[in-house]
Amino acid sequence: MKRLISFILCVTVALSLTSCSFGGVKKKLTDPDLTYSMEELEELQTRELKISDYELPALYKYFEGKCRIGVVTDGYEYTNYETDDRAKGILKNYNAYVLENAMKPDHCNPAPGVYDFDAADAFVKTGELGSAELRAHTVVWHSQVPEWWFKADPEDTGSVKECYKKGRLATREQLEERLRTYIDELVPRYKNTVKYWDVVNEAISDNDNIIKDHTEKSYWSEIFGDVDGDGYYDDYIEYAFNTVREVGGDDLVLMINDYYMEWDETKTQKMYDTVERMLRKGVRIDGVGFQSHIGSDIDIDIYRKNLEKISGLSKIYDECFPEYKGNFRIQITELEMNMRVGELADAGFHPWSDEDYAYQADVYYRLFDMLMDFADQGIIDLILFWGTDDGHSWINSDLKENVPLLVDRKYRVKPAYWAVARAAIEHSGK
Contact 388/71 with Cβ under 8 angstroms? yes
Q: Which of 362, 295, 303 is nearest to 332 (CA)?
A: 303
Using rule CB under 6 A, residue 74 touches ligand XIL: no
Out of 274, 291, 306, 314, the only residue in the binding site for ligand XIL (CB under 6 A) is 291
Sign of CA dihedral 16, 20, 23, 27: positive
Between CA 314 and CA 325 the distance in angstroms is 8
Using rule CB under 6 A, residue 201 touches ligand XIL: yes
Residue span 29-68 as binding mask against ligand XIL, x where in contact by CB under 6 A, dash where not: ----------------------------------------
- Residue 384 pairs in a beta bridge with 70
E strands, 156-292, where? 196-201, 253-258, 287-290
Q: Say whether 202 is catalytic.
A: yes
**Whole-number minimum distance, CB 194 to ligand XIL, in Å?**
16
Burial category of 149 from C-beta neighbours within 10 Å (exposed 0-12, middle 13-18, buried 19 and up): buried
Using rule CB under 6 A, residue 394 touches ligand XIL: yes
Using rule CB under 6 A, residue 286 touches ligand XIL: no
Out of 100, 286, 356, 390, the only residue in the binding site for ligand XIL (CB under 6 A) is 100
**Whole-number minimum distance, CB 414 to ligand XIL, in Å?**
20
Out of 45, 79, 101, 174, the only residue in the binding site for ligand XIL (CB under 6 A) is 101
Q: Say whether 334 is catalytic.
A: yes
Between CA 194 and CA 309 the distance in angstroms is 28
From 222, 238, 262, 334, the catalytic residue:
334
Between CA 311 and CA 226 the distance in angstroms is 28
Contacts of ligand XIL in 210-269 (CB under 6 A): none
Judged by phi (left if over 0) then psi (alpha if -120 to 50, else beta), residue 390 lies in alpha
Using rule CB under 6 A, residue 93 touches ligand XIL: no
Q: Which of 227, 229, 232, 278 is nearest to 256 (CA)?
A: 278
Please identify the residue of the shown chain whose CB is closest to the bound ligand XIL: 394
For residue 35, whether the previous peptide bond is cis, meaning omega lies within 30 degrees of 0, is: no
**Whole-number minimum distance, CB 20 to ligand XIL, in Å?**
32
- What are phi and psi for residue 253, nearest 5 degrees? -95, 110
Which of 201, 274 has the CB closer to ligand XIL?
201
User: In the 8-state DSSP scheme, what is residue 325?
Assistant: T
Which of 176, 334 has the CB closer to ligand XIL?
334
Out of 334, 381, 389, 390, the only residue in the binding site for ligand XIL (CB under 6 A) is 334
Which of 77, 100 has the CB closer to ligand XIL?
100
Contacts of ligand XIL in 151-190 (CB under 6 A): none
From 133, 202, 222, 238, the catalytic residue:
202
Helix 235-248 with 172-190: angle, nearest 10 deg: 30
- Residue 40 pairs in a beta bridge with none
Which of 101, 242 has the CB closer to ligand XIL?
101
**Whole-number minimum distance, CB 332 to ligand XIL, in Å?**
13
Between CA 187 and CA 50 the distance in angstroms is 37
Which of 357, 394 has the CB closer to ligand XIL?
394
Contact 367/300 with Cβ under 8 angstroms? yes
| DSSP H helices in 340-412 | 354-376
Residue span 337-376 as binding mask against ligand XIL, x where in contact by CB under 6 A, dash where not: ----------------------------------------
Catalytic residue set: 202, 334
Residues that bind ligand XIL (CB under 6 A): 100-101, 201, 291, 334, 394
